[in-house]
Amino acid sequence: MAKSSFLTIVLYCPGFYFYVSVYSFFNKAEIQHNNKIMVHSNNSFKAKKINRFISKTGPLLSTAIFAFLLFTASSCKKDSGGTVNPPGADGPPTITSLSSGALHYGDTLTINGSNFSATAANNMVYINGVAAKVVTASNAQLKVVTPAVGNNSGEVKVTVNGQSTSGGNIQYIPDLFLTGTETDYNYSFAKAMYWKNGTATTLSTATYAEANAIFVNGNDIYVAGSESNKAVYWKNNVKTTLGNNLSTATSVVVSGGDVYVAGYEQNASGVYIAKYWKNGTAVTLGSNRSYAYAIAIIGSDVYVAGAEMNNSSTYTARYWKNGTAVTLAANYSYAYAICANRNDVYIAGFEVDGTKAEAKYWKNGVAQSLTPNDEALCITIKDNDVYLAGNGKYWKNNVAFSLPGLDSEGTAIAIFGDNVYISGSYYPGAVVWQGRYWVNGVAAAATFPDFTKLAGIFVR
């Protein structure tokens, strides 16, 4: 007959230990379950009466006590919350400090704190709601690449395993890109150039070189213009020639990795025809003498703004959607710029009504008059507000504001945060013109060489 034994069961619950002696038929048994229940044999009992009592009642008593222990263990689990944190995660992440309060696009931001994941991909970091790439990670520190925040400040937010925290704001300093052409009074030479935060880069000094528009996509800088009377664009200073005949490129955008450039080129009859190029392949737009000045991509649709001569030999403002022309005005008119806000298409230009030109913009083909004896040369939209610029002034929602400077001209416009940036030129002397840009209508302190005209702007 097997010798009966007492078993001492130790039940661990966070903060408490329970010791219970239970009858068992096992000898010198030792059981461990989930690192929480430990069983040890104990044969040192000498009281025969107690042994006889246990031998008769042990199985029933054992069952009852095990039921009690299971109930206690269940209660213990509930009291402790029932959650086991994954390795390296002791709770929601916290942010204790940021390495820098002032950053440009592409700068490294160091985030110090706790409960981050040591796996970079498991940390989601946002600055002003824009995702930032995590390049290195530990439980106490993240290093991320600053994205295009889109505002002058941005809140930093970190999410790990579905739990989020915010940890202060950074100051974001936008990069200002300008493009234009430097020449002299007699146009005896030309320089196609762009400036990033005031630092100039010369793209070409060839005959009749010019730079008309700029677009920035990530770390890539695109400039549209011409060189030796042929349409070209530069990507990071490397030229791609588009035109085969006399031509120029007036606008450039990048969408979905594709490069779209608008412009015009002479045909075999010596007539300029509006067109655009997608990744270097030309798409002809006009059937008569025509010009394309601006391009925008909305979803999968290609919009180009310009003008075309009608059967009465009058240039009329129009735009092309995927190659199909839409006429905006019946009178002599031009469309110079185009942009979109959701599904709405906005086009800036002018129309001559009787004997005077009137600055206008069209929203989905419906004209909005601005001021007489003027032209709207550029347009942009932010938060349903419409901004335009032209000769000596700019407009916000049809209200005009002046651009200081003799014969000032705003050729391109951009909005960043609450600030309105406009590039162009003015005449500081009777026969000298200079490039200039304005912020909220105030001329910037930056100076440009004489006989320089700024034609494009991009703020990121």
Q: Based on the domain organization, do 27 and 49 belong to the same domain?
A: yes
Residues 6+ apart with CB under 8 A from 34: none
The mean pLDDT value for 206-229 works out to: 96
What are the two backbone dihedrals, phi and then psi, of residue 73, each rounded to the nearest 5 degrees?
-65, -40
Q: What is the mean pLDDT of residues 139-153?
A: 96
- Whether the per-residue pLDDT at 328 is higher than 70: the answer is yes
- Helix, strand or coil for residue 53? helix
Least confident of 79-83, 235-239, 267-271, 356-360: 79-83
Assess if residue 87 is contained within a domain: no
Closest residue by Cα to residue 388 from 410, 356, 365, 363? 410
Closest CA to 276 of 257, 256, 296: 296
Contact 58, 43 (CB under 8 A): no
Kindly indicate the confidence band of residue 29, based on its pLDDT and cuts at 50, 70 and 90. very low
- Structure token pair of residue 93: 């992440």
> Would you give the DSSP letter of residue 128?
T
Provide the number of structural domains found in the chain: 3
- Work out whether strand 247-255 and strand 238-241 pair parallel, antiparallel, or are unpaired: unpaired
Judgement on whether residues 389 and 260 belong to the same structural domain of the protein: yes
Q: Looking at residue 76, what is its pLDDT?
A: 43
- Residue 335 structure tokens: 């469309």
pLDDT score, position 185 = 87
Task: Give the tokens for residue 436.
Answer: 């200039």
- Output 446 or 83, whichever has higher pLDDT: 446
CA 229, CA 226: separation in Å to the nearest integer?
6
Which of 33, 48, 79 terminates a domain? The answer is: 79
pLDDT at 145 over 80: yes
**In the structure, what pLDDT confidence band is assigned to residue 354 with cuts at 50, 70 and 90?**
confident
Mean pLDDT of 275-291: 97
Residue 85 falls inside a structural domain = no
346 vs 28, more confident: 346
With 60 as the cut, is the pLDDT of residue 26 above it? no
**Number of other residues whose CB lies within 10 A of the CB of residue 270:** 8
Q: Do 194 and 250 belong to one domain?
A: yes
Q: Are 207 and 156 found together in one domain?
A: no
Which residues, including other chains, have CB under 8 Å from residue 286's CB and lie 6 or more apart? 264, 273, 274, 275, 292, 306, 308, 325
Say what the pLDDT of residue 46 is.
Answer: 39
The arithmetic mean of pLDDT across residues 425-443, rounded, is 93
Do 60 and 26 share a structural domain?
Answer: yes
For the record, the structure tokens of 447 come out as 């100076």
pTM of this prediction?
A: 0.80
The strand order across the sheet containing 5-13 reads 16-24, 5-13, 37-42, 31-33
Q: Do 320 and 453 fall within a single domain?
A: yes
Whether residue 323 sits in one domain with residue 184: yes
If you average pLDDT over every residue of the chain, what do you get? Answer: 85
The H or E element that residue 9 is part of is strand 5-13
Residue 231 and residue 368 in one domain: yes
Q: Which domain holds residue 163?
A: 94-172
User: Is position 377 within any domain?
Assistant: yes
pLDDT in tens, 393-403: 999 999 999 99
Assess contact for 9 and 20: CB atoms under 8 A: yes
Is residue 355 very low, low, confident or very high in pLDDT (cuts 50, 70, 90)?
confident
The string of DSSP codes covering 55-92 is HHHHHHHHHHHHHHHHHHHHHHHHHTTS--PPTT--SS
Residue 174 near residue 139 (C-beta atoms within 8 A): no
| Three-state DSSP class for residue 54 | helix
* Residues 5 and 41: beta-carbon distance below 8 Å: yes
The DSSP secondary-structure symbol of 120 reads G
Of the residues 121, 156, 172, the one at which a domain ends: 172
CA gap 29, 73 in Å, rounded = 21
Confidence of residue 17 (pLDDT cuts 50, 70, 90): very low
More confident residue, 91 or 28: 91
Categorize the per-residue pLDDT at 4 as very low, low, confident or very high, splitting at 50, 70 and 90: very low
**Structural domain contains residue 89:** no
- Residue 415 reports pLDDT greater than 50: yes
Looking at the predicted structure, is the pLDDT value of residue 81 above 60?
no
**151: CATH:** 2.60.40.10
Residue-wise pLDDT for 178-204, tens only, equals 999 999 988 888 999 999 999 999 999
Residue 72: the pLDDT is 44
113 vs 119: CA distance, rounded Å:
15
pLDDT (average), residues 7-26: 38
φ and ψ at residue 100, rounded to 5 degrees: -150, 145
**Cα distance between residue 190 and residue 205, in whole Å:** 6
b/e map 119-139, b = 16+ CB within 10 Å:
ebebbbbbbbeeebebeebeb
Q: How far apart are CA 224 and CA 233, in angstroms?
A: 4
Confidence label for 234 from pLDDT (cuts 50, 70 and 90): very high
> Distance between CA 78 and CA 48 in Å, rounded?
41
Both 12 and 135 in one domain: the answer is no
- For residue 154, what are the CA distances in angstroms to 81, 168, 225? 36, 8, 35
Q: How confident is the model at residue 429 (pLDDT cuts 50, 70, 90)?
A: confident
- The answer on pLDDT for 137 being more than 90 is yes
- Out of 172, 204, 223, a domain closes at 172
pLDDT at 73 over 80: no
Same domain, 209 and 292: yes
Domain with residue 424: its CATH number is 2.130.10.150
Among 32-41, 131-140, 241-250, which is the least confidently predicted range? 32-41
What pLDDT shows up at residue 207? 84
Q: Find the length of the chain.
A: 460
Task: Say yes or no: 163 and 185 in one domain.
Answer: no
Please report the pLDDT score of residue 296 as a whole number: 98
CB contact at 8 A, 393 and 400: yes
Which residues sit opposite 134 in a β-bridge? 144
Q: Is residue 86 part of a domain?
A: no
Residue 48 domain flag = yes
Asked whether residue 140 falls in the same domain as residue 227, the answer is no
